[in-house]
Amino acid sequence: MLFKKRTFTGQFLEFTRICSFSLFITLFCITFISQATNQFRVALTGKYPPFSFYDSDGNLTGFDVDISKALSDELGFDLEIITIEWDGILAGLLAGKYEAIIGSMAITPQRQKKVSFSNPYYISGAQLFIHEKDTSSIKKIDNLSGLKVGVVLGETYEQFLRTEYPQINVITYKSTVDIFQDMKNRRLNAFFTDRLVGMYQIKKAGMPFVTAGDLLYHEEMGIPVSNPVLLNDLNNALSNIRSKGVLDSLHRYWFESQNSVSSQTMNINVIVNRLLKGFGITVGIAFISFFTGILFAIPCGVVLNGQKSLYKFVLRSLIDFIRGTPVLIQLFFVYFGAPQIGLTLSPIVSAIITLSVNSCAYMSEVVRSGLMSVDPGQKHAGRALGLCRLDIFRFVIWPQAFRIAIPPLGNSAVALLKDTALISVISVGEVVREAQSIISVTFNPMLYYIIIAALFFIFTYPLMRFTASWEKILKKRGFMHD
């Protein structure tokens, strides 16, 4: 633990150092660059394939990136692409950190109140997709009454379908990957998503799905700019690249041909590295949580095994509460609840706290029952020899209780290791999250879930064997009564 703590501090220091350094560089660049007239700074997220994303070699690429290049060439500017989170992307434009956002932003009246948009550079919208075998039965949305239709949780399509088409059975999913699996297994009849994103993902995953009917509603993607003078130039440049056919060929490349997909497959080294790194984090978190948990479980077990007291009452209620509620809810409670009392914990710290507390609750019970199983005569014998209370605990009671507690403690360790799979929900980059991220590119969930199961099993199996053989030793030594 101590070692780990030091690493945390080390990482933190390194992080602050990097932050201050990059802040300095950024400030320097901003003051320097804002004087350069030829600079064309464009913002996008880099997290929205196929529009903007990092390829397997770590290079930024995508439809929006290519559009940015084509436009800056047309304008005769030097292009600089800045990646920034979607949440803060408009604020950055208003603050003058870049001249334009080429990030697939739909033109909406609300946004138009704040910034000026260029003419749309592409049009997309809500598209119905079906299995290719259903093309004769499902032709448009009206054929979907009573059928199951998937959408990704939180996307605007869900609300739209529920209000406009209440007769459709809408089912929400965590990601398109899961929708694809259920479509393939024919558990779903159809799904809705953005037309271009959907077409790209289907092509990438090699799925037998096709579009059905027209766009349900469409969205025009424009380029917000900070400087109205630039707007005219940009609109001219847009119509120029359109008339030159650049726009069409980019559209074809990214959304219709197979070329864009081949650059998308993931390098095996990258996959192995990410999975191993993720599993390292999993094991690390489980390890820290286990030892923190047992550190507190010993005194808790002693109190629980002791005489009636206020401490015992409070502890008993608390432990019962923790054992009686799902660890997932506890995780949300710590992760989302702590900031409300002014404590903003990182996902990893939240995960470690939750799992430590949770495993402490279970292991306290194990320690308590271990202590309870030691014959009270042992304590008397210790006293009769003149040992003090602490020595009786340390040399007589605890060694016996611990031997009894080892098998159930081993089970707790196994359970804890498996529980770490849950923490992917608060975006800790452990092995399940890493796998989900890989699957979102490679679209073969079964393979990766089998690999993960195997990784877990490699760790839990020896633990379980050890537990079992320890029980045998206990019986041999006469600690355990059959």
Partner 1 sequence: MIKIESLSYTYRGSAVPALQDISIQFDFSKNSITSVLGESGSGKTTLLQCMAGFLRPQKGRILIDDKNIRQMKEKEFRSKVGVVFQKLNLFPHLTVLKNMTLALNRVQALSIEEAASKSDKMLERLQIHELKDMYPAQLSGGQAQRVAIARALVLKPRYLLLDEPTSALDMNTTEDFSVWLRSLHETTSFVIVTHDIPFARSVSKKAVLIENGQIKMHNKIENVMKSFSNS
Question: For residues 281 and 10, what is the distance between their CA atoms, to the nearest angstrom?
Answer: 17
Ranges within 34-53 binding partner 1 (CB under 8 A): none
Binding flag, residue 473, partner 1 (CB under 8 A): no
**Minimum CB separation from partner 1 for residue 389, in Å?**
10
Name 153's Cβ contacts closer than 8 Å, sequence gap at least 6.
Answer: 172, 173, 174
Closest CB to partner 1 among residues 113, 476: 476
User: Is 384 an interacting residue with respect to partner 1 (CB under 8 A)?
Assistant: yes
CA distance 100 to 230: 9
User: Between 18 and 385, whose beta carbon lies closer to partner 1?
Assistant: 385
Cα 189 to the center of its chain, rounded Å: 28
State the minimum distance, in angstroms, from the CB of residue 152 to partner 1: 58
Asked if 85 touches partner 1 (CB under 8 A), the answer is no
Answer yes or no whether residue 307 interacts with partner 1 by CB under 8 A: no
**H/E segment holding residue 30:** helix 2-33
| Residues linked to residue 81 through DSSP beta bridges, in sequence order | 42
Contacts of 248 (CB under 8 A, 6+ apart): 242
> Binding to partner 1 by residue 342, rule CB under 8 A?
no
Q: Contact 212/140 with Cβ under 8 angstroms?
A: yes
Between CA 247 and CA 240 the distance in angstroms is 9
Q: Which is nearer to partner 1, 310 or 384 (CB)?
A: 384
Closer by beta carbon to partner 1, 27 or else 385: 385
The answer to whether residue 380 forms part of the interface with partner 1 (CB under 8 A) is yes
Which residue in 196, 403, 434, 442 binds partner 1 (CB under 8 A)? 403
308 scored as a contact of partner 1 (CB under 8 A) = no
Query: Is residue 235 a contact point for partner 1 (CB under 8 A)?
Result: no
Least distance (Å) between residue 16 CB and partner 1: 49
Q: Does 432 bind partner 1 (CB under 8 A)?
A: no
299 part of the interface to partner 1, by CB under 8 A: no
Structure tokens that stand for 373 in this block: 């199983």
CB 118 within 8 A of CB 222: yes
Residue 164 or 375: the one with the smaller Cβ distance to partner 1 is 375
Strand 190-194 relative to strand 148-152, pairing: parallel
Stretch that binds partner 1, among 68-76, 104-112, 373-381, 439-447 (CB under 8 A): 373-381
- Cβ proximity of 416 and 293 under 8 Å: yes
Owner of token pair 């796998």: 435
Q: Is 343 in the site for partner 1 (CB under 8 A)?
A: no
